[in-house]
Chains A and B, each alone.
Chain A
Amino acid sequence: QPVLTQPTSLSTSPGASARLTCTLRSGLSLGTYRVFWYQQKPESPPRYLLSYYSDSSKHQGSGVSNRFTGSKDASSNSGILVISGVQSEDEADYYCMIWHSGAVVFGEGTKLTVL
C-alpha cells in the first residue's frame, strides 16, 4: 500500500468547488505530518501551492490564489486541497507530498479536468 493515495482523476465544472484528497497509509497518523500540495500543467515544472499542518501552521505559496485552501480530515486520515470557484486555468495535475521516514514522498497525483 502506498504511503499516500490520491484519486487518479476528478472532474468539475467552472465555478464549482473541487475537493482533492490525499490519504495517508493506515497506521500512519496524519496529525504528525505537514502536507504539501503542488500543481503541474502540461509541459511545465511543478508549482508549489501551499502546505498545511494545522489552522495555526499553514503556508500559501507566493502568488497563489486564496481560492486554493488546505486542510486535514482526521476521520479519513487525509490531507485536503479545496479549489473554490474553479476556473479553466485550474485544469492540471495535483500532487500531495509529505516528509516521511527521512524521505520525500509524493502521492501519485490527481488529474483535475474542468468540463
Chain B
Amino acid sequence: EVQLLESGGGLVQPGGSLRLSCAATGFSFNNYAMGWVRQAPGKGLEWVASITGDVDVTGYADSVKGRFTISRDDSKNTLYLQMNNLRAGDTARYYCAKDTGAGISGWFQTWGRGTLVTVSS
C-alpha cells in the first residue's frame, strides 16, 4: 500500500525556518515526481513545489520561490521542504503528494494527511 507520512510542522516565528519531511512507503520512490501542496485554514488548495523523479528538476509557486527548497533523498525514500523566511501567510497544512510519473504534472493520486505549520509571534 502506498503511504505518505509528513512530519516537521509546528509553531515558528515570522522570519524563522522549518524543514518538513515526507516518508514514503509502498512504491519505488525514486521513479516518481513528488510535490507539496498547502491549504491555509478555511481556504483552498495551493501548489507549493514539485521535484522530478529522475534528474531532480524542481518547480515552485511564485509565492515561495527563493524562500522554499524542495529536495529528496531516494536512499531514505524521503521528500523534504526547507522553508526559510517564513511569513504569516505561510500558515497552512502542508500535504505531501505523489505524482503519477517521473515528470512533474500535478497528477497527484496519493496524498499524505499533512502537517500543520503555524507562523506567528
Over the window 83-107 of chain B, the binary record of Cβ atoms lying under 8 Å from chain A Cβ atoms (1 yes, 0 no) is 0000000000001000000001111
- Contacting pair B45 A46 (CB below 8 A): yes
Contact (Cβ within 8 A) B95 A99: no
- Is the C-beta of B56 less than 8 angstroms from some C-beta in chain A? no
What's the Cα separation between A95 and B61 when bound, in Å? Answer: 18
* Given A99-B106, A104-B50, A104-B106: A109 and B45 interface contact (C-beta under 8 Å): yes
Question: Does A109 contact B44, Cβ atoms closer than 8 Å?
Answer: yes
Interface residues, chain A, CB within 8 Å of chain B?
A: 34, 36, 38, 40, 44-48, 51, 61-62, 93, 95, 97-99, 102-109
Q: Which residues of B contact A (CB under 8 A)?
A: 35, 37, 44-47, 50, 59, 61-62, 95, 104-114
Which secondary structure characterizes the binding site on chain A? strand
Whether B109 contacts A61 by the Cβ 8 Å rule is yes
Establish whether residues A106 and B95, one from each chain, have CB atoms under 8 Å apart when the complex forms.
no
